């Protein structure tokens, strides 16, 4: 039986969380934070997403608030009994003078799975964002599942970023070729939006052989990286994060 669930977070500038609503497999826990952030950790209450599941996670950071969202473990997409795809939607809203650090663990597409993941972000003009996404195709020694991800970001109502990636056996041909993953099994990105970048945007540069930092047409920078495994991918993104924000 498939699951439909929507979990919700709302953060206020005084550090309170007036809404912390778990649902289905998405259990939300307020955890100890270091620094001036409220912190919420997503804990998997059951195996999910399975084929046919429809999951959503919403976070609203109100004007002036600061929120860190992470997860207790990797999310593993698994096949369901009916062979249907699963969907997972993340909807983020960050208000004026607010800051969101969205730093979940990896998303793993296990063999036979089919997951459609969509992340949409709405930023106020003075909002700050650090968003990390990491996808791993298959568990250790396992063939990959099919994974389609799309990230869409608007700032002050204008498009900042809109990109999609499809990988796995049901994806269009060429996804594993030299123009896309080139045989790698871990792919990730780090998006940093800071108003300070309006005056001094980061410069384009390579971060090793399989990663690049690119300034966007707005006060933002995007790091895109490939790696043979999740551990090396995290190292690349952590180094880029420290370089862009000045803290780990």
- pTM beyond 0.85: the answer is yes
Residue 246: its pLDDT value, please?
77
Residue 245: its pLDDT value, please?
84
Half-sphere exposure of 166 (CA within 13 A, CB side): 8
Burial (Cβ within 10 Å: 0-12, 13-18, ≥19) of residue 8? middle
User: 70 is written with which tokens?
Assistant: 């992470």
Residue 45: its pLDDT value, please?
66
Residue 248: its pLDDT value, please?
66
Residue 37: its pLDDT value, please?
87
Alpha-carbon distance 75 to 212, whole Å?
A: 25
Residue 171: its pLDDT value, please?
87
CA angle at residue 227 from 186 to 83, to 5 degrees? 15
Residue 127: its pLDDT value, please?
97
- In the chain (248 residues long), the average pLDDT of successive 10-residue segments reads 92 95 95 88 84 96 97 93 91 98 96 96 97 94 93 97 94 82 93 93 92 94 96 96 83
With beta carbons less than 8 A apart as the criterion, state whether 151 and 128 touch. no
Closest CA to 75 of 241, 230, 226: 230
Cα→Cα distances 125→137, 156, 191, 209, Å: 35, 5, 16, 34
Alpha-carbon distance 206 to 213, whole Å?
A: 6
Q: Which residues contact 166 (CB under 8 A, 6 or more apart)?
A: 146, 147, 148, 149, 172, 175
According to DSSP, residue 204 is labeled: P
User: 211 is written with which tokens?
Assistant: 């990663």
Domain ranges in the chain?
4-196
Full DSSP string of 14-80: TS--SEEE-BTTEEEEE---SSS-EEEEEEESSS-PBTT-EEEEEEEE-TT-EEEEEESS-EEEB--
Closest CA to 206 of 231, 188, 183, 223: 223
């Amino acid at each position: 039986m498939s699951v439909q669930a929507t979990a919700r977070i709302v953060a206020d500038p005084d550090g309170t969380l007036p809404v912390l609503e778990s649902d289905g497999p998405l259990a939300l826990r307020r955890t100890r934070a270091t620094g001036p952030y409220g912190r919420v950790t997503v804990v998997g209450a059951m195996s999910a997403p399975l084929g046919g599941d429809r999951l959503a996670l919403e976070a609203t950071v109100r004007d002036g608030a600061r929120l860190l969202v992470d997860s207790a473990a990797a999310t593993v997409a698994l096949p369901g009994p009916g062979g249907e795809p699963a969907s997972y939607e993340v909807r983020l809203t960050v208000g004026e003078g607010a800051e969101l650090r969205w730093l979940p663990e990896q998303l793993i597409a296990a063999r036979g799975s089919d997951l459609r993941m969509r992340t949409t972000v709405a930023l106020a003009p003075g909002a700050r964002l650090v968003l990390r996404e990491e996808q791993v195709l298959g568990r250790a020694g396992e063939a990959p599942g099919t994974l389609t991800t799309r990230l869409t970001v608007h700032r002050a109502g204008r498009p900042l970023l809109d990109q999609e990636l499809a990988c796995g056996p049901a994806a269009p041909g060429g996804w594993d070729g030299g123009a896309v993953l080139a045989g790698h099994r871990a792919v990730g990105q780090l998006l940093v939006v800071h108003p300070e970048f309006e005056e001094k945007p980061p410069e384009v540069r390579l971060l090793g052989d399989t990663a690049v930092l690119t300034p966007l047409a707005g006060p933002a920078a995007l790091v895109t990286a490939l790696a043979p495994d999740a551990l090396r991918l995290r190292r690349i993104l952590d180094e880029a994060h420290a370089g862009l924000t000045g803290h780990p």
